[in-house]
Structure 1
Amino acid sequence: MLLNIDLPPAAPPPPASPDPSASPDPSASPDPSASPDPSASPRRDEGSAPPAERRPSGSDRPPLAGLPVLRLIRPLAALALLAMILGRMIAPATVGLAVGIERTARAVEIAGAAASQLFALGAIVTAMALIGAVVRSRSPYALRIAAIVAGSFVILVVLHATVQRVPDLSAALIGVSAAVLALGGAWEALRAPFMRPVAAALGLIGASALVRLAGVFLAVWANERGSKSLATASGSLATAAFAIDALAVLVAAVALGQGRAARPESPPDPGQPRPAPRLVTPLSIAALVPALLATRAALAGAADDASLLEVLLRRALDRLLARPAPSVAPSVQLFAAALAVVVAALALIAPPRLPALGGALALLLVARSAPEVPLSALSLVIAALCVALAARDDRGFWAAVLATGRDRPSGALPGAGKADVAAAPQVDAGGDTR
């Protein structure tokens, strides 16, 4: 597995070449009193393993190769969130906002475009590395095939989008591909109990994307045929997609606090019942307060006497609303959009024990309302692969958990002092740590 590559031990130095001038005497018998030289003996003890089979332990164990890849998810998610705020929200909202801010609007637009290009380059490289990791992992064959087909297709479309506009059919196909891969990654991540909140949010985002794309297809079909029944069905699907999406945002807010207590300090007692997950955590409350304030300011931005900041906030949040519009009050839609941005920011500022989970949570919230956009589809693909690998990759995940533990001494390697890398704690489907 790409994330769990154990470097081979260093080969022993080659034996010194014999001196041709010194010819051994075949008649000479060995001295029985002399102790044998273990380094010169070609034979090994029958009970000792060959050097190639010995596992490094302690401080001489090489670091896991998967940790650098996992560390890329969090800064990549921060760049994606910055690109969404600047390029998708603020830059369009500042156009025509007031007199004399044309230069400011242009500067914000250039900054958003630069952040989007940087994110595209980093996301393509990261997605390729994650696809290779999934292929080499112990994931089910269906998920490996989906990662190759769906992930490669999304990467190709993103590369095509850097030079020209993506056709509507390709945009719909990458949305479906990313949604299907998100459902597969969520199903794979449900095997680990500490991953279930993040996996539930990922699965809900994927289901919402599929329902929304079906509603868009019906809306186009109804417009071509002039059918009112198809238009009504499209509105119903849009409302259902928004309900699933709003539920995903709430689950993501709950996952903020759940992830920090993902690994208990001691194994649970089998005789005692498991504690129920907390639905209200300090982080979830911290996410609700600014979302409510932003929603109130955005609603006030529709009035004639609104301030410049309120109008800017209203325009920025309108860019995150899904189309076709669901049959839901505008205040609820604005609150869901604001809460998604706040939760994504908190997932990067105060991530769980494994920062890659915080990055994956931010990426799937960035892609929630527009899976047909190339960069959003790529964000959803990276989030799905990261969540699936975090649930399956026992060595890389638990080494990162141990590296961020409070009781780890400074300068120690992840899991230092253990007898074996494979002896890191593993969690089965039942949730017991062994």
Structure 2
Amino acid sequence: MLLNIDLPPEGNPPSAAPDPAPPPRREEGGDAPPAEPRPSAAARSPLAGMPVLALIRPLAVLALLAMLLGRLLAPAMVGLAVGIERTARAVELAGAGASQLFAIGAIVMAMALISAVVRSRVPYTLRIAAVVAGSFVILVVLHATVQRVPDLSAALIGVSAAILALGSAWEALRVPFMRPVAAALGLVGASALVRLTGVLLAVWANDRGSKALAGATSSVATAAFALDALAVLVAAVALGAGREARPRDADPPRPGPRLVSPLSLAALASALLATRAALAGAGEDASMVEALFRRALDRLLTRPAPVVPLSMQLFVAALSVVVVALALIAPPRLPALGGALALLLVARSAPEVPLGALSLVIAALCVALASRDERGFWAAVLSSERERTSSALPDAGKPDPTGGASG
């Protein structure tokens, strides 16, 4: 039995989208109503639509506080002088609180970034690596809140974070304005892999009592230190290079990266002063401040010890802390890049520590997202420049109280 169906009249096929609303009627003698604004391509870009990147810099500030208070100052103040026990206890509690806040924020940030990477235009290989490595590091960090992490798990999260950092750096090197930060990220990842190899050799040498393995451990540790020092120097260069970036079609043409900038010079000078104070802190007549510098920077020295003068090791440790602070105080044009630069330097000497591995994962994911959305990057740059210009210039067009208009 056939059903009788009323067919529509011949004409254009109906559209699946709803009919647009008729425009408002123009009143006689009045102006035409304003057209509804349409979102631009930059506004629809993934980076501009991800507010999670705006939280990278505040999270990096928490990481810096946790490192300064909990990792450097609190252990260095124990037994430093008579009568500072209460101050040392207060600093220890502040460092523990900052570490807990950073752990909570970093876990949430890592989950959000993994979700953003999965939905982005990042290559599928890097998406899979972000899901696997990021999820594994998050699980170990959650486990670390209950009990001590086993040595094997600590080594695995360090390797996972380093591999993800290398993949993100390789992806970001194709974008000109990302190359300084990407180079620093890749060097940190390579240094972490080499140093963890040195730790494995040191364990084997200790178990077997082999002098040959002990010598190989020193060589590997020295190579890891060289990569680490180069990463810190590249990060110091990135402080000034990121502020000179321009889009490809901008006038005048985009300049190349500046190897020397006021920020990099300030970082080097501050690191030299801190190194001098730390070296003087080993003497018997050292002041309390010099002894504090020496104890604090000793906490940043890597193990196994490289075959490098101690002064050079202290200088690299001091320079890394100064660059982290400057990256947050005077970040590149996109604050998320300053936060990523700070996080990867916070993790440089401890990728096997759960929070260090999580910091490196967050920095890698942030760099990967920024490198895959150049339109959103420049939209954020131009919007920030417009805000700075509008706040710096006098208000134009506002009526003057005397009856005129301000120029």
Taking structure 2 as the reference length, the TM-score comes to: 0.84
The structure-2 alpha-carbon separation of the partners of 1:289 and 1:406, relative to structure 1 and needing over 3 Å to count, comes to farther
Deviation for aligned residue 1:14: 11
**Match of 2:93?**
110
Q: Structure 1: how far apart are the matches of 2:248 and 2:327? A: 22
> Does 1:56 find its partner at 2:50?
no
Which stretch of the first structure deviates more once superposed, 226-235 or 97-106?
A: 97-106
Partner Cα distance (1:266, 1:69) in 2: 28
Letter paired with 1:180: I
1:249 corresponds to which residue?
Answer: 232
Question: Is residue 168–residue 367 contact of structure 2 (8 Å, CA) maintained in 1?
Answer: yes
C-alpha contact 1:67 1:400 (8 A) present in aligned 2? no
Q: Which residue of 2 aligns with 1:350?
A: 330
User: What's 2:33 paired with?
Assistant: none
- Tell me how far apart the structure 2 counterparts of residues 313 and 176 of structure 1 sit (CA, whole Å): 31
The answer on 1:224 being equivalent to 2:207 is yes
C-alpha spacing 1:256/1:373, structure 2 compared with 1 (3 Å)? same
2:246 matched to 1:263? yes
Question: The residue matched to 1:351 in structure 2 has which SS?
Answer: coil
Q: Aligned to 2:55, which of 72, 78, 83?
A: 72
Quote the residue 2:313 is aligned against. Answer: 333
Following superposition, the deviation at residue 55 of structure 1 comes to 9.1
Alignment of 1:5-404 (within 5 A): 56-57=38-39, 66-264=49-247, 267=250, 275-404=255-384
Shift of the 153–55 alpha-carbon distance from structure 1 to 2, 3 Å rule, reads farther
User: Residues of 2 paired with 1:359 and 1:388: CA distance?
Assistant: 14
* Residues 408 and 91 of structure 1, relative CA distance in 2, 3 Å threshold: closer
**Which residue type is aligned with residue 74 of structure 1?**
R
Partner Cα separation in structure 1 for residue 279 and residue 322 of structure 2: 17
CA distance 1:106–1:407, shift in 2 (3 Å): closer
Q: In 1, Cα distance between the equivalents of 2:263 and 2:247?
A: 19
Q: Distance in 2 between matches of 1:337 and 1:219?
A: 22
Distance 1:292 1:189, change over 3 A: same
1:385-405 deviations in Å (ceiling 9; x for gaps): 001100102343222112211
Query: What is the Cα-based RMSD across aligned positions, in Å?
Result: 2.5
State the Cα deviation string for residues 335-359 of structure 1 (Å, max 9, x = none): 0000000001000000011000000
AA aligned opposite 1:341: V
Look up the equivalent residue of 2:189 and give its one-letter code.
G
CA contact (8 A) 2:244 2:255 kept: no
Question: Using the alignment, how far apart are the partners of 1:397 and 1:233 within structure 2?
Answer: 44
Task: Report deviation, 1:66.
Answer: 3.2
Q: Which residue of 1 aligns with 2:401?
A: none
Query: Residue 141 of structure 1: CA displacement?
Result: 1.0
CA distance in 2, matches of 1:395, 1:72: 20
Q: Which runs of 5+ in 1 are unaligned?
A: 1-10, 16-36, 40-53, 412-434
Structure 1 contact 256–283 (Cα < 8 Å) conserved: yes
Amino acid at match of 2:360: L
- Asked if structure 1 preserves the Cα contact closer than 8 Å seen for 2:271 and 2:315, the reply is yes
C-alpha displacement at 1:105, in angstroms? 1.1
* Aligned residue pairs, count: 362
Q: Which whole-Å CA distance do the structure 2 matches of 1:180 and 1:307 have between them?
A: 43
> SS where residue 80 of structure 2 aligns?
coil
Given that residues 247 and 378 in structure 2 are in contact (C-alpha distance below 8 angstroms), is that contact kept between their aligned partners in structure 1?
Answer: no
Aligned CA distance change for structure 1 residues 62 and 180 (closer, same or farther; 3 Å): closer
1:211-269: CA deviations, max 9, x gaps? 00000000001100111111111110000000000000000000000001112596268
CA contact (8 A) 1:302 1:314 kept: yes
Quote the offset at 1:72 in angstroms.
0.2
**Could you tell me the percent identity over the aligned residues?**
79
> AA paired with 1:184?
G
> By how many angstroms is 1:145 displaced?
0.5
- In structure 2, C-alpha distance between the alignment counterparts of 1:261 and 1:145, rounded to whole Å: 33
Amino acid at match of 2:314: L
- C-alpha deviation, 1:410, in angstroms: 4.5
Inter-partner Cα distance in structure 1 for 2:23 and 2:138 = 56
**CA shift for structure 1 position 102:** 1.3
Which one-letter code corresponds to 2:305 in the other structure?
A: A
User: What runs of 5+ residues in structure 2 fail to find an aligned partner?
Assistant: 1-16, 25-35, 392-407
Return the alpha-carbon distance in structure 2 between the equivalents of residues 298 and 245 of structure 1.
20
Opposite residue 373 of structure 1, the aligned amino acid is: V
TM-score normalized by the length of structure 1: 0.79
Partner letter of residue 187 of structure 2? L
Structure 1 counterpart SS, 2:385: coil
- Does structure 2 retain, via aligned residues, the 8 Å contact 1:402–1:408? no
User: 1: distance between equivalents of 2:388 and 2:64?
Assistant: 31
Deviation of the 1:57 alpha carbon? 3.5
